[in-house]
Amino acid sequence: MHQHLIGEDVEVGKFYEEIEKAKGYLKSQDIIIVMGDFNAKVGDERIKVVGPSGIGTVNERGSRLIEWCQINAFTMTNTWYQNHSRRQWTWKSPGDRSRNKIDYILIQKRFRNAVKTSKSLPGADCDSDQIPVMCKFLIKLKKLRKAKANPKFQWTC
């Protein structure tokens, strides 16, 4: 059992290394959205990166995800919106004995106000114990204008 946990820690470490590597290819002005099955429970305690609509108590992977979000200035979109209870959870155990929120959509904090809603979609038929998560956001991008070139005149007498 202990050996299994060590193997999981290595895999989780590699996962975060891959995210960092992918971020290295992006420009600082790019909008970065990270989403997926983190198998992390972040709880329902409101902190800067986690909203009050989490589920349960924080586990080890949840602590690691929270720490990564804090270091990288990301927020977990689907913990900030109070939805109907069936739109909160993203995974259910075999036999439907328990439900948890372990899948997240992360966005840079500076774009947090652009997010209009984030929730799970329990009605989607994807033949899995995982429930898809969606996020709607509205970002207004500036239109870049080229500077007008002032014509230069040569005056000769």
Q: Determine the pLDDT at residue 70.
A: 92
Q: Determine the pLDDT at residue 68.
A: 92
Instruction: Please give the Cα distance from 40 to 63 (Å, whole number).
Output: 8
Give the list of residues 6+ apart from residue 122 with CB closer than 8 angstroms, or none: 86, 87, 89, 131
Q: What is the pLDDT along the chain (157 residues), one digit of tens a residue?
A: 444 455 677 888 898 899 999 988 998 888 899 888 888 888 777 888 887 777 777 888 888 888 999 999 999 888 876 765 666 656 666 666 766 777 888 999 988 888 888 877 776 666 666 777 778 888 887 787 877 777 677 777 6
Taking Cα atoms as reference points, which of 102, 105, 56 lies closest to residue 80? 105
Q: Determine the pLDDT at residue 4.
A: 45
How remote is the C-alpha of 132 from its chain's centroid? 13
Q: Determine the pLDDT at residue 1.
A: 43
Give the list of residues 6+ apart from residue 146 with CB closer than 8 angstroms, or none: none
Superfamily of domain 28-137, CATH level 4: Endonuclease/exonuclease/phosphatase (3.60.10.10)
- Helices 2-24/60-72 angle, 10° precision: 20
The Cβ-side half-sphere exposure at 39, using a 13 Å CA radius, reads 8
What pTM value is reported for the model? Answer: 0.72
* Beta strands, E only, 33-102: 33-37, 74-76, 91-92, 99-100
Task: Locate the domains of the chain by residue range.
Answer: 28-137
Q: Determine the pLDDT at residue 93.
A: 61
